[in-house]
């Protein structure tokens, strides 16, 4: 019984920490987005909603190891539409970014599945959504940042005694996308 109570308490503390990080992150990211894009309300609204979607994906993927289609499919369509009307990448780069971003992770998913690894399909859909918002140059930068953040995160988790098993890719993809969006 004591173990159950301790595990429950740790779970609540982890949950509270996730929300604290999420709210704190948004409190920093929205003004940073405004600064980056000159407080153009259309770009701030577009990239702000993109960032909120990435935040939701991060929290859900950390908790469930699942990236919901309910976020990625409408997000991908929104990225294409906003690319056509608002985003600096334009529709053409958004479409190529969607194809490239989704294609790279589909290939990785196929390779991992062939190696008998358990791989979900949400990561490639998230990468396609990121490509739709950032265009092909942005998705390349996001994937590079994802690798950097993923390696750094894995080393930190190992250093702090974290689990050695598979980690959710969604949070690292989201962090890479935000870095690419803000650095440009």
Geometric angle at alpha carbon 158, from 154 and 163, rounded to 5°: 90
- Is 133:83 a contact under the CB 8 Å cutoff? yes
pTM score: 0.82
pLDDT digits (tens, 9 = 90+) for 119-163: 678 899 999 999 999 999 999 999 999 999 888 888 877 777 665
Question: Which residues, 6 or more positions from 128, have their beta carbon under 8 angstroms from its beta carbon?
Answer: 72, 76, 98, 99, 101, 102, 105
Residue 3: pLDDT over 70: no
From the centroid of its chain, how far is CA 46? Answer: 16
């Amino acid at each position: 019984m004591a173990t159950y109570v301790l595990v429950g308490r740790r779970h609540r503390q982890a949950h509270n920490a996730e929300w604290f990080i999420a709210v704190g992150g948004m409190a920093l990211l929205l003004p940073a987005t405004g600064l980056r894009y000159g407080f153009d309300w259309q770009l701030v609204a577009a990239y702000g909603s993109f960032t909120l979607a990435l935040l939701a994906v991060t929290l859900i993927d950390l908790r469930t190891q699942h990236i919901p289609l309910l976020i990625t499919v409408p997000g991908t369509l929104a990225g294409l539409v906003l690319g056509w009307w608002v985003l600096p990448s334009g529709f053409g780069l958004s479409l190529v970014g969607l194809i490239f971003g989704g294609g790279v992770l589909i290939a990785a998913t196929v390779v991992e599945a062939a190696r008998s690894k358990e791989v979900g399909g949400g990561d490639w859909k998230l990468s396609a959504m990121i490509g739709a918002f950032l265009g092909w140059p942005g998705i390349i930068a996001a994937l590079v940042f994802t690798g950097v953040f993923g390696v750094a995160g894995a080393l930190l988790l190992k250093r702090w005694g974290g689990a050695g098993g598979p980690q959710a890719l969604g949070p690292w993809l989201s962090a890479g996308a935000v870095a690419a969006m803000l650095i440009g």
